[in-house]
A and B are shown apart, each in its own frame.
Chain A
């Protein structure tokens, strides 16, 4: 009995030592794999394919970081997290970064001591309802039963929306997206609410996606992005600039198709040269190889390629770029310069 307690204490001490050690970047390099927290399965953002290989928009960010740090986009351990477990997993050091369509909010950034490194998808909370329900606006939902993922900002937005519009509803808290889908399809709730992108992804997996509509109201701002622990600025820089590299690559027209060619020798565009490491020492400043950004972009393509391949209009999820177009095309996706 006493032995178990002692071993327990030792194990806890070991864990806390791991969490408290200084550099995540060094840890990842030493370990040889990146522990990346993702969803438990949201097609288009992060879900294992038929062969069990994780793919999706958020998975693409994890793979890019792994490629930048380790030079190998497959050196990622994907750790599925629920809305409830994700922050504990990150804070305890179980994962190195979280790329799980997580909304950047003040309290998560400041109070929970996390560092959002950027925004990879500008989202908003919407409602999915069956066409047969005959609802055209979320304000018609008075008295409706609403499925909502628990432990998310959507839960709070939902309460605020119905309260400010002075209409009533009955929440059905659910743990995972799959559970929400099951209850929604069985009619146990009238409408399902989460980020509009997630709803589109969920609807794409339905047997008859055409029987369901996304209501026009977007009731919140949901800037989604990868995050890391607060206080490890070197690691935050690596993740932040990997994301920025993907965005800059789209802006500069660097794609997975032409990157080999562009990286082979310095081009006429100095920023491309700095990005791809054929000029300057940006990689060294991050503590990475000079070709870090090239590896990251080659892993899954630039931001636009990742978007089109996983959630774009030609995929079953069919999301338009909208707010997530490049700033040069009227969107909000914008990276600080590589200089």
Chain B
């Protein structure tokens, strides 16, 4: 059609910017760009004139000055004399921690609920439908508050563990469930490298060994595949792989002198071991169970998108239902599931900023909360926050898109 209506080339008149389909889109795009630039310019001018009128300026010097406040959950060294920038990093790590944990558990919840919702068992499928509808239709902030409130009301305070006849006891004498959090035994090294044989480097060594084991098992598996291709007989790799996974790590931990630090009631709180704080648990659980409901729907949609003929064909070949699901249906369903899953992961990361409701020290609570408040540098802090969330979201998108490209239908 365009070939017919296109005027002969050569002469260009300004009217063609509107009338000619070849140039019209450029005209509108240019106009849109100009309007956008004007808007941004207006915002910039507005902010700078208003700040100037109030005698304020934009400055990031506060990042280098002492923060002055303490943070209860810190993955790196931090005290009240550390800088605001360090407080922000503590917050970033806390955000990443809860986002990572919640992404993992939400995926587990979601896949389980999504698969079970399609179960032939009436009770199971209705229970899962109930779960999805309840959790999906109530705001996540409310879930965070409900879970946190129930937790601090139902679980005993550390004081209940005191005395000869305590009201509450530690689970197996190892784990204490209190309304301030869960205290579990924590591993430490006695013969390793670093200060007192317990430096962070030891953990890097352990992780390094685990990564090496991972690649070793990959090699064993690919050799098994090659053997199967060549001879038709697959060698049993189970015991070899288990040995590769466990033996080196166990030997290493023994050499480093692994011991467990068991939490003990000292003074006001339990001391020793690892504390998983109440706010972290509430936030983690609420985010995973809420987002899990959305993922469940994505999974269900993905599974239903796989034609029923596939299931029946697999059944006709004699596969059992579990193997049909894992070998035939899910691999095809993943293509439909992954793209919406990306946005659910982004949602978890962004929703983790609701941490402030339960006093979890994420980036919004440290940089966007206390630092902003104590320094009064609202615009600077909010700009940094936007930058952080944008970067993190784009990174998650990128990685998930790489994964999506790996599982999507290969068209040749």
Contact = CB atoms under 8 A, between A and B. Distances in A.
Nearest to B31: A2
A19 interface: yes
A188 B180 contact: yes
Contact of B68 (A133, A156, A230): A156
Interface stretch (A119-127, A163-171, A193-201, A316-324): A163-171
Contacts of B356: 175
B68 A9 contact: no
A107 B32 CA distance: 43
Interface string A1-30: 010011001001100100110000000000
Contact of A170 (B36, B269, B372, B376): B269
A146 B359 CA distance: 12
B55 A143 contact: no
Interface string B26-40: 000000100110010
Interface of B: 32, 35-36, 39, 42-43, 46, 50, 53-56, 68-72, 79-81, 149, 152-153, 156-159, 179-180, 266-269, 271, 278, 356-357, 359, 361, 365, 369-370, 372-374, 376, 378
A230 to B, nearest CB: 7
Interface residues of A, number: 51
Nearest to A157: B68
28 contacts: A6-B39, A9-B39, A9-B43, A84-B372, A87-B373, A107-B376, A111-B376, A141-B268, A150-B365, A150-B370, A155-B68, A156-B69, A156-B374, A159-B70, A160-B80, A163-B79, A163-B81, A173-B72, A174-B359, A183-B152, A186-B152, A186-B153, A186-B157, A187-B179, A188-B157, A230-B54, A231-B54, A231-B55
A286 B47 CA distance: 32
B370 A173 contact: yes
Contacts of B159: 132-133, 187
A91 B54 contact: yes
Contacts of B42: 9, 13
Contact of B278 (A20, A174, A188): A188
Q: Rank and list the top 5 A-B pairs by shortest CB-CB distance, nearest first.
A: A187-B157, A151-B373, A159-B80, A143-B267, A144-B268
A143 B56 contact: no
B272 to A, nearest CB: 12
Contact of A113 (B55, B157, B373): B55
B376 A173 contact: no
Contacts of B35: 2, 5
Interface in A126-163: 132-133, 141-145, 150-151, 155-156, 158-160, 162-163
Contacts of B81: 163
A2 B32 CA distance: 8
Given A9-B43, A145-B180, A156-B69, 18 more contacts: A5-B39, A12-B46, A83-B373, A108-B376, A132-B159, A150-B359, A150-B369, A151-B373, A160-B80, A171-B70, A182-B152, A183-B152, A186-B152, A186-B157, A187-B159, A188-B157, A188-B278, A231-B54
A190 interface: yes
A178 B90 CA distance: 27
Interface string A108-119: 100111000000
**Most interface-central of B46, B266, B268, B361 (chain A CB within 10 A):** B268
A230 B53 CA distance: 11
Contacts of A84: 369, 372-373
A79 interface: no
A171 B277 CA distance: 12
A16 B46 contact: yes
Contact of B46 (A13, A87, A171): A13
A306 to B, nearest CB: 29
Given A83-B373, A159-B69, A171-B71, A113 B54 contact: yes
B269 A145 contact: yes
A171 B32 CA distance: 50
Contact of A169 (B53, B70, B361, B376): B70
A88 interface: yes
Contacts of A132: 159
Contacts of B378: 88
B53 A20 contact: yes
A75 interface: no
Contacts of B56: 113
Contacts of B179: 186-188
A144 B270 CA distance: 10
Nearest to B266: A143
Given A9-B42, A173-B359, A112 B152 contact: no
A20 B50 contact: yes
Contacts of B374: 151, 155-156
B357 to A, nearest CB: 7
A253 B370 CA distance: 44
B363 to A, nearest CB: 14
Contacts of A111: 376
Contacts of B39: 5-6, 9
A31 B179 CA distance: 49
A325 interface: no
B164 to A, nearest CB: 17
Given A151-B373, A186-B157, A187-B159, A163 B80 contact: yes
**Most interface-central of B69, B81, B156, B369 (chain A CB within 10 A):** B69
A231 B56 CA distance: 12
Given A151-B369, A186-B157, A187-B157, A12 B43 contact: yes
Contacts of A12: 43, 46
A49 to B, nearest CB: 26
A170 B71 CA distance: 8
Contacts of A88: 378
A108 B370 CA distance: 14
B88 to A, nearest CB: 15
